[in-house]
Amino acid sequence: MFLIHVAVKRPVLTTVVILSIALMGFLSYFNLPLNTIPEVEIPIVTVQVVYPGASPEEIESNITKKIEDEVSTIAGIDYVESYLMENVNITMCKFITGKDPDIASQEIKDKIDAIVNEFPEDAQQPVVLKLDINAEAVIDLAFVSGLSDKDAFNFADNNLKDKLAKISGVSKITLSGGRKREIQIVLDNNNLAKYTLSPLQIIGFLASNNINIPGGNISKAGSEYSVKVYGEYTDISEIEDIKIPTRYGVKYLKDIAEIKDTLERESSYSSFYRFDQNGDAMNKVIKLSVFKQSDANTVDVADGIFEELKTIRSTLPENSSLILVNDRSTFIRNSVNDTMSTIYMGILLTALILYLFLHSMRITMIIAISMPVTLISTFLLADWSGYSLNVFTLMALSVSVGTLITNSVVIIENIIRHMKKGERSAGASYKGTIEIAVAVLASTLTNIVVFVPIASMGSMAGQMFKEFGMMVAFAMIFSIIIGFTLTPMLSTTFLRHYHAKLEKKKGFGFQFDRYFDKFAELYRVLLDKIIRYRPYRYMAMFLPFILLIGTFWYIAMISPLGSEFFPQMTSRKIQISVEMPNYYDISKTRDVIESIRKKCMAMKEADNTLIEIGSLGNRQGGNLGTVLVNLHKEKYLERSTEDIISDLNKKLLDFPDASIKVKAGSDFEGPESESPIVFEIYGDDENKLSELTYRVLDIVKKVPGTTNVDSDIRPGKPEVKIIPDKRKLVEYGTDVASVATVVRSAVEGMVSSKLKEKGIEYDIRIQMNDSKIDDLDKIGNLTVLTPKGNVKISELAKLEFSKSPSMITRKNKSRQYKVTADITGRSTGEINADVLKEINSTVTIPEGFKIDTGFMAKMQEEMGVEFAKAALIAIILTFLLIAGILESYRQAILIMITVPLSLLGVIWSLKITGIAMSLFAMMAGVMLIGIVVNNAILILDYANQLKREGHTVADSIINASAVKLKAITMATLASVFGMLPLALGLGEAAAMQQGMGIVSLFGLITAAVLTQFTVPAFYASFMKDKHFENKNHFETEKKVEGEK
């Protein structure tokens, strides 16, 4: 081949070209951004509509059903799911895999625009958004200040937020835990009656006096001037001095109502605790969450934030501080560093294996130089392809370490074999490489071709693994180039005097070779008996397949493998979710959560805690909260996170009114956002739906391995229904809007206008005196101004107590409840299977109702189908490639026998280690298809050469297997030890790496061992002399003398 000829004859040119490529790869490495995972697009579009003051049932009938009916007609809709809470509707439209999210978003927007006029007048404009899992909170900061609550929030909202928002890559900053300044106009019902006023009139006076109106343009002396009336409030005194006409004359607003410069009602609370030299330090904080743009790099954004914090901290008010609470870029940095460490460790272990077998520093140096050059060059194509350095791309290089050197190992082993016959280094390098070039090329192409179906997968798993597969392919391409250029060139130079060492009869190398030669001879003798004695040959041919069938039966009938979509990622964090009864307000919830916090901080492992009250997931309410416990990472490591959680669960049994869920937290923002176990129950009859949900809830609780089992059925929230009497309204000359305005002003208050002070806007809220509306009778005593005077609400409407759901969920136009659970000790696949089995055998599902698994379980099912298709296509492509190169379907079939042999190692590795079959394990299984055939290719390549030289079929396969035993053993052990760091599961991304490492390692070992017996047995049985007539199986133009 031309490359090999140039490499041996022109070493300087070869060195210059290789160094140039490596240098560009080295520079490209620093251009690659850091990410956790590759960018993934899920075709989900959300529609959010805010309807102030509306209950979930009102939203359902007036908004949700209309949206669902309209969007369900769009082509490609998989399902429509809606979440209805007080004041807001969120409808999530999931499209089938492959749908362009941008097109889906536009189609949804068009449909919503067509029906927006059918929504209630008070409903706000719908907001249509694509779901973007890449737009995440990068940094969480806690602002602690000695300022007043009002000044602290103003500083955070108008100073810190603005400075952070200017950082490149930041999309938004959200605040929680503080209260914004608010101007409250507190009305007294008696004063309103006295002056014959209503809240609507006060709102009208406020609005008419708070407006800027353009008056147009005037021209004078050739110049044009704009005219504008500036009437907006700029100071609270202007509000106080508004003149209100009454029956007692004109009065100032401050004479009729109390004007308060205060804070808005508390809707959230945050606090941060950390042990310091003074003990348990408590700080009420304002939490700032900094979100990145979807196309921004997490690490770059975090670095920009840290740089800006240096300036921000120097400008903080006295007795104030800005504390870093959470940094999601740390996981990325640690994961990348840990994965790079596994690569370095794999290179080192591989080099040791090579030195063990080759016992020559020069030979080891050839491969030790070739491997880093190959890896570094790979970054060049990665940069050109727009990839990032993430756990997937680096894991691709990590699993490739051992495989990458296989080409160089096989080539060098063949070069040395020629040198042992007395050839000089240049001739041996050329002949040794040429002789095996086609086999090396075929082996490498099989490694590449298996990733073609992976790259074409359109599912979420396919998107995540596309960069993985392409990185492996890039590395393999460079391994061919390096193997055919740098390896023979270095061999020519480094091994110039190697023949002298071959004569040495002492030292470790000599002893190792002597013992390995004895092992090879024993193998030759054993294989000779197997090949020449038919019963042994049949046993070698069929026993592995009998074991494989038995393994399948055992897995299917007795002990199934665990399965999951994504491995559970945990860290030294504990997430505690707290839900109190729905009548709890923030103050009462805070007391309970503070007690929980004290129990957490009593543990020596606890470093700090962050409390947040006011929301939980997509729900909001003063009865909801979370406690995030960050554990020490460098000390007090005697107990695992799981042990601490178990202990904490026992300590938190003292809160009977609280629903408490304790689970391990994670810094990884992967696809698994919902609970691992989710069952959806939907239908139209509320009573039957609740009954069916409770049945499923009981079943899930009884299945081993579940914890924190819960449903989203909640007691209805107490509600005061005010039902206007339409006849009375007509009689008194008023309407429903007047009644609703009085009630809302008295209960919640109404934001009627804005105060703009120093460029900052503050709400002006009309609020009735709280002391007047603390029970049903006082609501009834509120008065509505009518043409006949002030009339009590109790005269105009019927008041009664009832219950209203605090949240409604719907799916595919039906009401829905969910049963959720976390897992411990078992996989999601095992638990889902057990639950479904019990449901099918014990639950009668009424007509019109359905029980189904959740989103992640659906993704897991889709993943299984996708990988099965990918594996089948990979097998077909590998077979066709081998058949084309060998010009023989028969020998291609013999080589493909190694693929099922590897399944024995794959299945039993997962069974013995207890690791679930995740997408990483499946990826490793597909990857093995292209790797395990390499040993068979090497054996058959050399056996074919011997057969063409006149040997019998039996002698050819026996001699070829024995001669190639050392190269195969060396290459297999190099691959195994290259993957060993992954299998050990070290570092932040251990859960992702370990499954892939274990499957790859045991699959390789099993296939390598069985290939040495099963493939030769099949070859001897099915290859006859006639199959070599006029055939050219892996023959080169220049014949080389084979060993007998």
Supply the pLDDT for residue 500.
44
Region of poorest pLDDT, from 352-361, 729-738, 825-834: 352-361
Provide the token pair at 807: 């949240």
Write the DSSP string, 501-515.
HTT---HHHHHHHHH
838-845's contacts with Cβ under 8 Å and 24+ in sequence apart are 838/699, 838/702, 838/703, 839/696, 839/699, 842/699, 843/692, 843/695, 843/696, 843/699, 845/692
Mean pLDDT of 354-361: 77
How far apart CA 564 and CA 298 sit, in angstroms, is: 27
Supply the pLDDT for residue 701.
93
pTM: predicted TM-score of the whole model, two decimal places? 0.79
Q: How many C-beta atoms lie closer than 10 Å to residue 588's C-beta?
A: 15
How far apart CA 133 and CA 294 sit, in angstroms, is: 8
- Judge residue 76's burial from the number of C-beta atoms within 10 Å of its C-beta, 0-12 exposed, 13-18 middle, 19 or more buried: middle
Write the DSSP string, 896-924.
HTHHHHHHHHHHHHHHHHT--B-HHHHHH
* Contacts of 22 by beta carbon, 8 Å cutoff, 6+ apart: 373, 376, 377
Closest by Cα among 937, 954, 938 to 1017: 954
State which amino acid sits at residue 159: N
Contact assessment for residue 79 and residue 812, using Cβ atoms and an 8 Å cutoff: yes
Distances 205 to 199, 241, 255, 599 between C-alpha atoms, Å: 10, 12, 15, 53
How far apart CA 1006 and CA 999 sit, in angstroms, is: 11
Tens of pLDDT, residues 947-995: 888 888 888 899 989 988 888 888 788 788 877 877 887 666 677 778 8
Supply the pLDDT for residue 277.
44
How far apart CA 123 and CA 112 sit, in angstroms, is: 13
Reported as a pLDDT band with limits 50, 70 and 90, residue 499 is: low
Mean pLDDT of 820-831: 88
Q: How many C-beta atoms lie closer than 10 Å to residue 567's C-beta?
A: 25
Supply the pLDDT for residue 1041.
41
Residues belonging to the chain: 1044
Region of poorest pLDDT, from 115-124, 314-323, 431-440, 539-548: 431-440
**% of residues, the chain, pLDDT over 70:** 94
| Highest mean pLDDT (candidates 241-250, 445-454, 636-645, 835-844) | 835-844
More confident residue, 222 or 211: 211
Contact assessment for residue 195 and residue 251, using Cβ atoms and an 8 Å cutoff: yes
Tens of pLDDT, residues 289-306: 998 887 778 888 899 999
pLDDT of residue 1037 exceeding 70, the answer is no
pLDDT of residue 1036 exceeding 50, the answer is no
Q: Kindly provide the residue ranges of all beta strands, DSSP E only, lying in 646-759, ordered along the sequence.
A: 659-664, 677-683, 706-711, 717-724, 750-757
Mean pLDDT of 75-90: 89
Provide the token pair at 498: 């190697």
How far apart CA 1031 and CA 956 sit, in angstroms, is: 16
More confident residue, 428 or 647: 647
Mean pLDDT of 859-881: 85
Contact assessment for residue 114 and residue 67, using Cβ atoms and an 8 Å cutoff: no
Tens of pLDDT, residues 514-571: 888 889 899 999 999 999 888 898 999 999 999 999 999 998 888 888 888 777 766 7
Mean pLDDT of 201-220: 84
How far apart CA 288 and CA 163 sit, in angstroms, is: 12
Write the DSSP string, 350-407.
HHHHHHHHH--HHHHHHHHHHHHHHHHHHHHHHHHTT--B-HHHHHHHHHHHHHHHHH
* Contacts of 347 by beta carbon, 8 Å cutoff, 6+ apart: 368, 371, 372, 401, 978
pLDDT of residue 311 exceeding 80, the answer is yes
At residue 687, the 3 state secondary structure works out as: helix
Region of poorest pLDDT, from 73-87, 479-493, 772-786: 772-786
Region of poorest pLDDT, from 242-256, 771-785, 811-825, 870-884: 771-785
Contact assessment for residue 704 and residue 826, using Cβ atoms and an 8 Å cutoff: yes
Q: Helix 919-931 vs helix 933-948: angle between axes, to the nearest 10 degrees?
A: 10
Mean pLDDT of 774-789: 79
**Per-residue buried b or exposed e for 1010-1041, using 16+ beta carbons within 10 Å of the residue's own CB:** bbbbbbbbbbbbebeeeebeebebbebeeeee
* Contacts of 339 by beta carbon, 8 Å cutoff, 6+ apart: 391, 394, 395, 398, 987, 989, 993
Q: How many C-beta atoms lie closer than 10 Å to residue 966's C-beta?
A: 20
Tens of pLDDT, residues 679-717: 999 988 888 999 999 999 999 999 998 988 988 888 777
Closest by Cα among 933, 922, 929, 930 to 996: 922
Q: Helix 460-484 vs helix 919-931: angle between axes, to the nearest 10 degrees?
A: 30
Mean pLDDT of 440-455: 79
Contact assessment for residue 631 and residue 573, using Cβ atoms and an 8 Å cutoff: yes
Supply the pLDDT for residue 67.
93
What is the end-to-end Cα distance of the chain in Å, rounded?
26
List of domains in the chain: 2-31+332-484+521-564+860-1028 (1.20.1640.10), 44-130 (3.30.70.1430), 137-180+266-327 (3.30.70.1320), 182-214+230-263+717-804 (3.30.2090.10)
Mean pLDDT of 758-778: 76
Contact assessment for residue 527 and residue 961, using Cβ atoms and an 8 Å cutoff: yes
Identify any residues that bridge with 664 across adjacent strands, giving them in sequence order.
574
Phi/psi of residue 362, nearest 5 degrees = -65, -45
